[in-house]
Structure 1
Amino acid sequence: MIVKNNKTIYTMVLCLILSLFSCKANKYGMEQENKRVGEDLEQIIEQVAEAEMDLDRLPIGDADIKNVIESGYYADKTKFAGKLLIEGKPTFMVRPRRFGKSLLISTIATIAEGETDKELFKNYFIYNGAFKDENGKIIKYDWKKYPVIRLDFSKLNNETSEILKADLQRLLYNAAKKYGVESKLHNPIGYNSFQSYYENLIENLKILKNGYEPKIVLLIDEYDSPVVNLDWSSKQHNDCIKVLKDFFTVVKSCAGDCQLIFLTGVTKFSLVNLGSGANIFQGNDVSLENAFSDVTGYKEEDIKNLFENRFNYVIREMEKRTGQTYTKEGIMDAIKFYYNRYRFSYDGPSMYNPNSVLSFFQRGNLQGYWYRTGDPSILLNQMRDEIDRFDLDWEKLRFYVTEDDIMFTQSKKPLSLEALMYQTGYLTIDTYNPANGQYALKIPNEEVKMALAQNIQEVFLDEQKEIGVHHKEHVLAALQQEDWPRLLQLFRDACFANTSYEALKNDEKDFQNILHAFLNGVCHHTVGGPRIRVEEHSGSGRSDITMDDIKNNVVYIIELKKNQSAEMAIAQIEHKNYSGKYFRKKKIVHIGLNCIFNREDINHRNINECMIAVKRQDSNNNLTKDPKKKFVFSNEEFVAGVINVEELEKKKTAIQNNKRIRGNA
């Protein structure tokens, strides 16, 4: 906060000096000079503002409440922290990743330390607002001082159950060390019972002096991190679950010594496996409670207030990137489309992903940031186990579910799709029907839609590679024997026909990715077999796919077009000379494919025609050309087709004209 204010003062002083200079010039009748100074002044102010934006780093990924408040970009969540501390119930909450759970934990921990950091919150609800006690009486927060045990389970090593146990005891040891009671506890090295270690820690924290209350605040962040990404049928998972089950059993036994036990995670799936110790959270899951619907994330008014000084910056950046004109209202519409529309209760406000909003206002680039923060393996593992469940039109689809469906916790395989997608953040509440208690779930925004599509595509491409492995003998034989109809039938039936809706949309690049993954599988672990390259550079462009069969001294150059023609594809290969660097090969094969994306066409999302051009070395080592061949799909097979010479010439002329224009430029 102080740093920001100082930069603002420097800017104001600079502007004042320049303004005085401008007035001085005007006094002596230097109109022309004054005009120039005025223009310079505007430019300097803009440069200073941009420099200030660069220096003013936003708290992206920072979960320390002190740092976030001092940055000036903290959305007040202190009423929730106060409510939890006053009510003193064991409380459980799930939220998607990167949504502010750890910052909330930091907020509670800092407030629980009492008067020490009270002034840090002087502009926030906990300092100025009022709460209700258990009798409904209006009270101010009392700033009692509690010992805090703060455990971040994402830092635990789960390689083995013994390592997990030792690591958990290390966290407890660090908590004891913070209050100077570590010497009164069992040595954490080599001691088997972390349960008794925890009990011993609680007893020592209860009798702390210096104004501490005899009640403990226990905060556990990412409780499911050690187990949720493991194979649930593995011994490692079962052993690690037992460690956590034992820990929560002792947590439950000491619950009466705690003012607050607060547990957060990304999913609720692991909670059911934690045995009776997790029963303390029954009836105290606030994940869908209306009163806690905005406990994490930004609301629209937060963005308008907190980021007021950055709108001009992002407007300039967006205009540079897109060439379009933006207003503040236009920016708000754009970030609402990309990062908003999360709802966590039947009547809750529409929330923005805080990490993505901060990233946008830092970079001024409207894109998906959430995908890069890492996905829970639980989702990816479910996709790999049964990818067909995810082959849906997610953008249009609505799921109608009850509250029990959303927070489904039974440990079974496969998991409920609705619960899985909601708890991992890919679905959110759209509407609620009180008549039947049903929620309608949907994808919240563009960023999430993009992240889901990328995840599904990656899994499908991995699967496509496996399909290629399965068919590799047939594909390689068809290539070597120049059995082009057979090769094309394999491309059509084994490759494109097996592709999901999400992985293959109305984009030429999708067709390329699918075929590349398939051929990658064909060449996988093939000793001396072809090497696959995608978008390999040549002198005048990049070929879609190149298969370099070193063993047989042959190269295959593949170009795909969408809703055009095989002639257009082959002409591009030839006129851009994609195979020029391979002139020493014994054989060069150009393969031009046309793919169809048209729901009215029988060939929708598949190839409909191909053209083959082959060059071979003769006895004098000169490359000679075979007559071109064309194949079209008709009556469930590829048959010889008629080459459209006019289209070939049209493409050739267009490429030559483009070269001429670039040369003149």
Structure 2
Amino acid sequence: GKSLLVDTMKELFEGNRALFAGLAAETRWDWRRRHPVIQISFSDGVLQSRMELDRRIHDILRINRERLGLVLSPGVDPADVPGNLLDLIRMAHREIGQQVVVLIDEYDKPILDNITDARVALAMREGLKNLYSVLKGADAHLKFVFLTGVSKFSKVSLFSGLNQLTDITLDAEYSALCGYTDADIDSVFAPELPGLDRERIRAWYNGYNWLGESVYNPFDVLLLFRKRRFQAYWFETGTPTFLVKLLTEHRQFTPDLGRIVASEDVLSTFDVDAILPEALLFQAGYLTIASFEELPNQYELTLKYPNHEVQASLNGSLLRSYAGDPSEPGRHTGRLWRLLKAGDVAGMQALFHAFFASIPHDWYRNSPIAQFEGYDASIFYSHFAALGLDIVVEDTTNHGRIDMTVLACGAVWLFEFKVVELVPQGRALQQLKDKGYADKYQARSEPIHLIGVEFSKAERNIVRFEVQTLPAAAAG
């Protein structure tokens, strides 16, 4: 919803009152003043060199001049990016008689489009810094400046000296500024709801939160209402190849993705030469805020998946990367769903054993992700997460923590994972029983499956898969 917000601001500052007839803005906005608006957007296309970036900026500034009816001042080189923009701002203020509004959409996209090539990304950063540095010296001519983007680059690296910028990302007052709220869905879109499961809409597309009211992804919601089918519309607009590569290189333990704890300054730090996975996941919309704790000098944030779409789609992508063969996981996750519905635990054992056996030996030997201790459990977890199921990792009980709890298909599935090179065989299921982990779920009156899964690093597969099922009557 950021680009739509920028377009709305443009129409407001230009005084196009007719577009807001009957809306709250009609009675709250000062329509007597019309400000010249310079609109800069990098949302279209992919720029692959500094030369292409400078050429794009030149075209953007030319289009703004033509729209405002202004010409370049004598002596100003149109190829001089900062001089060109500064001249445009000064002239717009002088000729139109009102301070200028500058709206910049996707301010960081030229960098992010080249983030896998540090040399090009750094060149893009310097080119954008060259552009944005003008805003500091033009302060007297500016009424309002607004920027949107995916990431938050430090002021030092991209906005040197531009101290008047205020970051509203984690401001409760603006949490619902972009996106649709529950109230929006139930009122504005009420005619679209018949025939769709309201709770499913919430589970699939709601959940984005920035210390205030949660919002729905507008891209998803609008396509759902048009196509009447639940699908990962937003996620499918761009596969996060670089993100998956980064998580693989950092040997990300996938069960931790939905419960990352990080300080506010870590999540707001991003640069070409300092990319933290948790910051990228948060800033790019794959994780959002679950809760926060106020420390003496900052917030500590606990992150989560925003919704079903992101949890299932991201884990599906990770699973394809972790398995070495992109075609394998899709077949296995579909079969896993059918086994869960049938309550077929033996079939589940065969499925996972076959999956680990299908991972190519050379990939297993050469991949960094396959070398860390949590790899096997990550594979196991991401199969369930790719189905968008209700999963609790390190599920707390009064006797300890269950490695993974899955609530699905009218049953409770409790998993304990062990690596036989680290502990004696036979300990996984025994721990589930000894600690009475099933007690927590007895009130649900559903079958409870206790499943001990033991991996061997030497054999690169599951070597023990023990099950004890407590029937619904016994569980209740």
- Whether the TM-score (by the shorter chain) exceeds 0.5 is yes
160, 163, 167: which one pairs with 1:285? 167
157, 163, 181: which one pairs with 1:299? 181
- In 2, the alpha carbon distance for the partners of 1:144 and 1:125 equals 18
State the Cα deviation string for residues 437-492 of structure 1 (Å, max 9, x = none): 43221111111101211331243245889xxxxxxxxxxxxxxxxxxxxxx99968
Answering whether residue 251 of structure 2 is matched by residue 388 of structure 1, we say yes
Percent identity of the aligned residues?
Answer: 25
- In 2, the alpha carbon distance for the partners of 1:225 and 1:286 equals 19
- In 1, the alpha carbon distance for the partners of 2:383 and 2:260 equals 27
User: Which segment drifts farther, 120-129 or 424-433?
Assistant: 120-129
Return the letter of the residue paired with 1:154: S
CA change 1:270–1:168 in 2 (3 A) is farther
TM-score scaled by length of structure 1:
0.49
State the Cα deviation string for residues 257-285 of structure 1 (Å, max 9, x = none): 1101111100113654215154442xx10
- In 1, the alpha carbon distance for the partners of 2:239 and 2:49 equals 23
- In 2, the alpha carbon distance for the partners of 1:377 and 1:182 equals 43
- In 2, the alpha carbon distance for the partners of 1:233 and 1:371 equals 23
Alignment of 1:138-157 (within 5 A): 141-155=30-44
> Given that residues 254 and 382 in structure 2 are in contact (C-alpha distance below 8 angstroms), is that contact kept between their aligned partners in structure 1?
no
1:407 aligns to what?
A: 268
161, 167, 175: which one pairs with 2:50? 161
Return the letter of the residue paired with 1:406: L
CA change 1:150–1:496 in 2 (3 A) is same
Answering whether residue 185 of structure 2 is matched by residue 308 of structure 1, we say no
Return the letter of the residue paired with 1:266: V
Return the letter of the residue paired with 1:289: D
Q: Which runs of 5+ in 2 are unaligned?
A: 328-355, 387-449, 465-476
CA change 1:265–1:434 in 2 (3 A) is same
CA change 1:496–1:234 in 2 (3 A) is closer
- In 1, the alpha carbon distance for the partners of 2:33 and 2:272 equals 40
Return the letter of the residue paired with 1:460: Y
1:456 aligns to what?
A: 318
CA change 1:238–1:434 in 2 (3 A) is closer
CA change 1:223–1:490 in 2 (3 A) is closer
Answering whether residue 131 of structure 2 is matched by residue 247 of structure 1, we say yes
> Given that residues 289 and 304 in structure 2 are in contact (C-alpha distance below 8 angstroms), is that contact kept between their aligned partners in structure 1?
yes
- In 2, the alpha carbon distance for the partners of 1:393 and 1:201 equals 51
106, 111, 121: which one pairs with 2:12? 111
CA change 1:163–1:277 in 2 (3 A) is farther
> Given that residues 216 and 260 in structure 1 are in contact (C-alpha distance below 8 angstroms), is that contact kept between their aligned partners in structure 2?
yes
- In 1, the alpha carbon distance for the partners of 2:3 and 2:236 equals 18
Q: Which runs of 5+ in 1 are unaligned?
A: 1-99, 130-139, 316-330, 466-487, 511-596, 609-632, 635-665
CA change 1:490–1:260 in 2 (3 A) is closer
Return the letter of the residue paired with 2:206: N
> Given that residues 430 and 442 in structure 1 are in contact (C-alpha distance below 8 angstroms), is that contact kept between their aligned partners in structure 2?
yes
CA change 1:430–1:280 in 2 (3 A) is same
2:446 aligns to what?
A: none
Query: What is the DSSP-based 3-state SS (H/G/I as helix, E as strand, rest coil) of the residue aligned with 2:179?
Result: coil
- In 2, the alpha carbon distance for the partners of 1:351 and 1:490 equals 41
Return the letter of the residue paired with 1:424: A
49, 63, 81: which one pairs with 1:194? 81
205, 210, 213: which one pairs with 1:339? 205
Following superposition, the deviation at residue 398 of structure 1 comes to 1.9
Query: What is the DSSP-based 3-state SS (H/G/I as helix, E as strand, rest coil) of the residue aligned with 1:262?
Result: strand
1:373 aligns to what?
A: 237
174, 178, 181: which one pairs with 2:63? 174
State the Cα deviation string for residues 537-559 of structure 1 (Å, max 9, x = none): xxxxxxxxxxxxxxxxxxxxxxx
435, 438, 453: which one pairs with 1:600? 453
Return the letter of the residue paired with 1:398: R
Following superposition, the deviation at residue 165 of structure 1 comes to 1.0
286, 295, 300: which one pairs with 1:438? 300
Following superposition, the deviation at residue 168 of structure 1 comes to 0.5
Following superposition, the deviation at residue 101 of structure 1 comes to 0.4
CA change 1:127–1:502 in 2 (3 A) is farther
> Given that residues 376 and 455 in structure 2 are in contact (C-alpha distance below 8 angstroms), is that contact kept between their aligned partners in structure 1?
no
Query: What is the DSSP-based 3-state SS (H/G/I as helix, E as strand, rest coil) of the residue aligned with 2:254?
Result: coil
1:574 aligns to what?
A: none
> Given that residues 175 and 214 in structure 2 are in contact (C-alpha distance below 8 angstroms), is that contact kept between their aligned partners in structure 1?
no
User: Which segment drifts farther, 248-257 or 220-229?
Assistant: 248-257
> Given that residues 323 and 359 in structure 2 are in contact (C-alpha distance below 8 angstroms), is that contact kept between their aligned partners in structure 1?
no
> Given that residues 76 and 83 in structure 2 are in contact (C-alpha distance below 8 angstroms), is that contact kept between their aligned partners in structure 1?
no
Following superposition, the deviation at residue 122 of structure 1 comes to 2.2
CA change 1:422–1:155 in 2 (3 A) is same
Following superposition, the deviation at residue 357 of structure 1 comes to 1.2
Following superposition, the deviation at residue 425 of structure 1 comes to 0.9
Structure 1 segments (4+ residues) deviating >3 Å? 140-143, 182-188, 231-234, 269-272, 277-280, 375-378, 409-413, 434-437, 461-465, 488-508, 597-608
Cα-Cα RMSD:
3.4
- In 2, the alpha carbon distance for the partners of 1:145 and 1:232 equals 43
Query: What is the DSSP-based 3-state SS (H/G/I as helix, E as strand, rest coil) of the residue aligned with 1:393?
Result: helix
Query: What is the DSSP-based 3-state SS (H/G/I as helix, E as strand, rest coil) of the residue aligned with 2:261?
Result: strand
2:214 aligns to what?
A: 350
Question: Which one has the largest radius of gyration?
Answer: 1
- In 2, the alpha carbon distance for the partners of 1:223 and 1:142 equals 28
State the Cα deviation string for residues 204-249 of structure 1 (Å, max 9, x = none): 21123xxx44211000000101112324663322222221111122
Query: What is the DSSP-based 3-state SS (H/G/I as helix, E as strand, rest coil) of the residue aligned with 1:431?
Result: strand
> Given that residues 272 and 409 in structure 1 are in contact (C-alpha distance below 8 angstroms), is that contact kept between their aligned partners in structure 2?
no
1:447 aligns to what?
A: 309
TM-score scaled by length of structure 2:
0.67
Q: How many residues align?
A: 361
